[in-house]
Structures are given as structure tokens and as C-alpha cells.
Amino acid sequence: MRVHVADHPLITHKLTVLRDKTTPSPTFRALAEELMTLLAYEATRNVRTEVVTIQTPVSETQGLAISTPRPLVVPILRAGLGMLEGMVKLVPTAEVGFLGMVRNEETLQPETYAERLPDDLSNRQCFVLDPMLATGGSLIAAIDFLFARGAVDVTAVCLIAAPEGLAAVEKAMEGRGDVTIVLGALDERLNEHGYIVPGLGDAGDRLYGLV
Ligand code: URA
């Protein structure tokens, strides 16, 4: 598994404002989208391309275009929705599928409660969007889901991760398919309530105004 922590000053600046508890939801939403666009640049570094021949006003030439099958972007509901626009702004031809994950309070395991994805993901590059990589449970379940449908490589984009969650994903993905994690920041730890420290609180609540 490859892990890339983006260390660009613009990303750090926007994350600092995002973390601030006085930042209101409309600003939070705008920043989450902007951060995703910046991280998308890094996350799509290995997006598959093919050679195409075009005519410029001056001559024929060859260039590269994103190849088919198109990349599939999968926001994890609900907080991943806050990153979707930022991703499709940069990759407008991507297809979008949805996965809803919730923790079963008896087994404590993540379960899929909503799914709208192509049945066959063979030969597809997938981009999973989930702002907070905390315990890693839902991200592992989402990546497993995509591999089970035949995906060949999966890149997860998270705004903030806890080292515990990152280690859990790394362990679960040992010997599995091609997985890359792109992060805006790697924080200190998880607290006893499963929140990332220092983190930003509950990303879904802050996006959708339930603070
Ligand atoms: N989910 C969040 O939204 N925030 C955390 O800190 C951990 C999980």
C-alpha cells in the first residue's frame, strides 16, 4: 500500500481553517471541496491514459487522454459527499457511484446500507472519498467491496487520518490489490470516543450544520 501525505502550504492553510471550531458550515463545505480538488491532483497522478490523435489549428499531433473504462469516484456517505464536487471538478468525465456505510452497534463492524455502483468493476480505477480515516473500519469495508466487484486499483482520499486507522488499513490490505492512500494530514491519535486528535470533530455534522 502506498501512502502520500500532501505537504503543500495551501493544503495546510485550508486544513487549519477547516479544523477551527468557529468555522461555520458554509465555509467548511467550501474548504472541504477546495481541499479535495488540491488532493485530487495528487490522487490522480497515476490515472490511466491513452494516446489520442488530434488536430490543432496548425497540425495533427498526438496527446494523452484519460482512457476508458472511465475512473469511478465513490464518496462514502454521508461525509464523503462533501468532497465529491471537488473531485469531479478536476475529473469531470469520471463516473460516480455511492456507498453508504454504518457501524452495526452490536457487532461494531461497518455494514453497507446503501450501494449504487456498477456490478462489474473489472479493469476499473476507483477513487474512494472519505474525509476522516479514524479506525479504518469503513474504509477497509469500502475497499473490500470494490475489490470484490473486480476493481484493479483503489485510491482513497482522506482529509485527515489517525495513525491507528492508517495502520489498520495497511494491515488489512497486505497482499491485496493495488491500494494508495492520499492524505491532507496525518494527525496524532484517536481518542477514547474514536475521534481523531486534534482532528476537526465530526466531519458530517460540520458539513451539514449539526454542530
Ligand atoms: N469521523 C469524524 O467525522 N471525525 C473523527 O474525528 C472521526 C471519525
pLDDT (tens digit per residue) in 134-176: 999 999 999 999 999 999 899 999 999 999 999 999 999 998 8
Mutate to test the pocket of ligand 1, among 195, 207, 210 (most ligand atoms within 8 A of CB): 195
Helices 9-19, 25-43: axis angle to 10 degrees equals: 150
With a 6 A CB cut-off, is 190 part of the ligand 1 pocket? Answer: no
pTM of the model: 0.95
Distance CA 202, CA 195 (A): 8
Show the beta-strand stretches assigned E in 81-192. 95-96, 98-103, 110-116, 125-129, 132-133, 153-161, 178-186, 189-190
Q: pLDDT-based confidence at 103, cuts 50/70/90?
A: confident
With a 6 A CB cut-off, is 32 part of the ligand 1 pocket? Answer: no
E strand or H helix at 38: helix 25-43
Residue of 106 and 113 predicted with greater confidence: 113
With a 6 A CB cut-off, is 203 part of the ligand 1 pocket? Answer: yes
Distance CA 71, CA 24 (A): 33
ipTM of model = 0.96
Q: Is 31 annotated as a binding residue?
A: no
- What is the reported pLDDT for 66? 97
**Cell numbers linked to 135:** 479506525
Distance CA 77, CA 116 (A): 11
Fold held by 2-208:
Rossmann fold (3.40.50)
**Which of 116, 167, 181 lies closest to 145, judged by CA?**
116
Q: In the chain, where are the structural domains located?
A: 2-208
**Which of 145, 193, 131, 139 lies closest to 170, judged by CA?**
139
